[in-house]
Amino acid sequence: MRDVYILGIGQTDVGEHWETSLRHLALEAVEAALKDANIKYPDAMYVGNMLAPQLSNQSHLGALIADFCGLRGIEAVTVEAGNASGAAALRQAYIAVASGLIDSAIALGVEKITDTVGSGVNAALATMTDSDWEASHGATPTTIAALIMRRYMHEYGVTLRDFAGFSVNAHANAKTNPKAMFRNVITPDAFAKAGMICDPINMFDSAPDADGAAAVILIGADTVRAHGADDVRAHGRAPVHPLVRIAGSAVVTDAMAVHDRPDPLIFKSAKESAEKAFAQAGIGVEDLNVIELHDAYTVFAALSLEALGVSERGKGWESAQNGGISLKGKTPISTFGGLKARGNPGGATGLYQVAEVAMQLRGEAGANQIANAKRGLTQSLASSGATAVTHILERVE
């Protein structure tokens, strides 16, 4: 098994791309990543997507997108794990390159949600829950999150307003992220007064469904070179950007239906996948300079911080209040806006997280830069933690 580096990243703007098709979004991210990596083509493509079969009448995205991106012929498949599909695609790309079977791989996340009107999207999103035991009773990801949040508030004696800091921080950071969907600053008051979606989850508590694509190119550490005509080694050229190493990678599942979990206020898969990734990287949570977690709802941010060991059980919400999660805090999160304000393009989200942490570690985060960031963690969840995918990234000195 060999070391694996991130050689290139690419992102489209996150938003409502009514005039751009699924494949065009993918192309834009792939082209950006290839340019960033300074290579002609990768040897394999792993496409993370969750809703194209239902919302775009398009499956078999591996071959389709490889073909449309001018990469006809390369190995390509779709990887799906609900909202964590993009992160799961990176995991497959990582394993493939680490194995030595594949020299370079592109993990692409792409999602197109906003062409479809409300109930169609909810029905599609509900297929990510347990169809027989959750969706068939009317549950959707948001209604399940609302139950979890209500239970959290009850158990720990906190109010909706106590979660405001997560969204305030996310919007503050998105302000200077040109790719972000919502670049407006919000206040705790605005948060508290936002329209209710599914009590106690309101508009400012919940991440917006969005369209977008993000791509990350991996390469074996021993083969840091370009392909095709531009062989870095032959030409004596170095990669364009500082290199980032995948130091840890893990996927862990949990009970699919939240009611099957012994304690719905523990994100067990998040905890265990983080532990595995930390063990592989040989570091602990205290060594991290930046965390991109799955803040699809503020209570998920709180529970993720608890799962990661940043906060004690029942204390995750306090992180939203003491400034610890801001760009200058001890544990910065959602540094480009997170799911809440950068936007949540489903199966692409996990790769936005990775691209963002890579920018932090490269020192290319601009106004959002964490000073001297050396190590970061990304964590992507699906179905309230039925799947958790964690990666630890490290700057190559």
Encoding tokens for residue 246?
Answer: 């995948």
Do 391 and 278 form a contact (C-beta atoms < 8 A)?
no
Encoding tokens for residue 65?
Answer: 């997108």
Encoding tokens for residue 106?
Answer: 């592109």
Do 383 and 141 form a contact (C-beta atoms < 8 A)?
yes
Q: By CB under 8 A, which span of 199-207, 245-253, 307-315, 367-375 interacts with a second copy?
A: 245-253
- CA torsion through residues 80, 300, 170, 94, sign: negative
x-or-dash string of contact with a second copy, 16-45, rule CB under 8 A: -----x-x--------------------x-
x-or-dash string of contact with a second copy, 51-80, rule CB under 8 A: --xx-xxxxxxxxx-xxx---xxxxxxxxx
Residue 82 interacting with a second copy (CB under 8 A): yes
**Beta carbon of residue 288, minimum distance to a second copy (angstroms, whole number):** 22
Would you say 23 or 171 has its CB closer to a second copy?
A: 23
The footprint of a second copy on this chain (CB under 8 A) covers a number of residues equal to 64
Would you say 106 or 382 has its CB closer to a second copy?
A: 382
x-or-dash string of contact with a second copy, 353-382, rule CB under 8 A: -----------------------------x
Residue 218 C-beta-side C-alpha neighbours within 13 Å: 32
**Torsion angles phi and psi, residue 9, rounded to 5:** -135, 150
- CA torsion through residues 221, 61, 346, 215, sign: positive
Residue 129 interacting with a second copy (CB under 8 A): yes
A 10 A CB-CB count for 99 gives 12
Do 326 and 317 form a contact (C-beta atoms < 8 A)?
no
**Among 96, 147, 158, 270, contact with a second copy (rule: CB under 8 A):** 96
**Among 35, 120, 131, 193, contact with a second copy (rule: CB under 8 A):** 131
d(CA 174, CA 185): 8
Positions that interact with a second copy (CB under 8 A): 1, 21, 23, 44, 50, 53-54, 56-64, 66-68, 72-82, 88, 91-92, 95-96, 98-102, 123, 126-132, 135, 250-256, 260, 268-269, 272, 382-383, 386-387
